[in-house]
Amino acid sequence: MIYKMPKGQKYTDLCIYIDSEIKKPDCDEEKCFEYMYHLFYILAVKGRMFITASDYDNYALYGATQLFLRYRKEKEPGSKLKPIKSCLNYIKRILYPLKVNYQKSNFFQVFKEEALNGNAPIGIADNQKKTAENINNDLLRTEYKYCLTQIAATIKLIIRDSPYSNNKVTMHNLYISCLLTLLKTITISNKNLERLKVRKRRNIVTDSFIDKIYEEESKDDVVIYHLDKTMGNYIDTLVKRCKKEIAKDLSYIVDSYNLPDNTIKEMLMQPLEDYSDGQD
């Protein structure tokens, strides 16, 4: 990678920084550009968009440049461009169209013009639409899994403001207690797994049944690790806050990938004009 990922930073932290700083007159443009590079690189890797490391590097630079110039044009006096509210959402929208443009400018690996303007046989047009949808779904699954791997980091953030923050031992025990309790509530017991298998064999698994199982698992007592039993209610409160944050993150990810068919079609038909504002 041309730029090293900042230590202790999640990619969501990079998004927050760009959204809050990029429009300020005194913003650190170099850092914003570097963060844009990382976002394009991470999402491209998650989507398995290329084969070689050099392609990921070059594409990330290309994408960061397009986005940076888009922000610059937005700042110009009299600009009629719609302001970008979320750089992450915007990047997700232009990720595939920019891949097409990147390949066109670098390797001439572009679909025939007929496929892009809608005059190609239906089979070709449908294939490209499915390609865009599959990339979107792959990114969603990967990002969803990544979010779940950050549960430990979420817990640490939640307990950071604890009244016991000056006591390293208690903070560690709180962290372990919350982690074990959370894992316990989202891990299905052997008894419920058997119930689920039986229903699967009968093809009668419903969302309400799965919700009921997790509701049962959540009723178990909290796990208290090397702490006084009186800390149980406090641990339960912390775990509920963690669940709320995790649910909010996962819901945000799902919503951000909810692209209607007409949007995907527009992305395929006009990748350069609509999404990079004519900047090559």
- 8 A C-beta contact, residue 57 and residue 45: no
3-class state of residue 30 by DSSP = helix
pLDDT of residue 127: 45
pLDDT means per 10 residues in the chain (280 residues)? 81 91 88 92 88 85 88 83 89 87 57 41 43 52 68 87 91 92 78 84 81 71 88 92 83 60 43 34
* The pLDDT of residue 4: 83
Other C-beta atoms closer than 10 Å to the C-beta of 76 total 9
pLDDT confidence of residue 154: 86
pLDDT of residue 112: 38
What SS3 class is residue 20? helix
- H helices present in 83-227, as ranges: 87-106, 113-117, 122-149, 151-159, 168-186, 190-202, 207-218
Taking alpha carbons only, the member of 9, 16, 14 closest to residue 39 is 14
Report the length, in residues, of the chain.
280
Q: What is the pLDDT, as a whole number, of residue 174?
A: 94
What does the DSSP assignment read for 142-178? HHHHHHHHTHHHHHHHHHTT-TTTT-HHHHHHHHHHH
CA distances from 280 to 37, 63, 104 (A): 17, 11, 11
pTM score of the predicted model: 0.44
For residue 209 the two structure tokens come to 């049944």
| C-alpha R_g of the chain | 23
Question: Rounded CA gap, 257 and 82, in Å?
Answer: 20
pLDDT of residue 192: 80
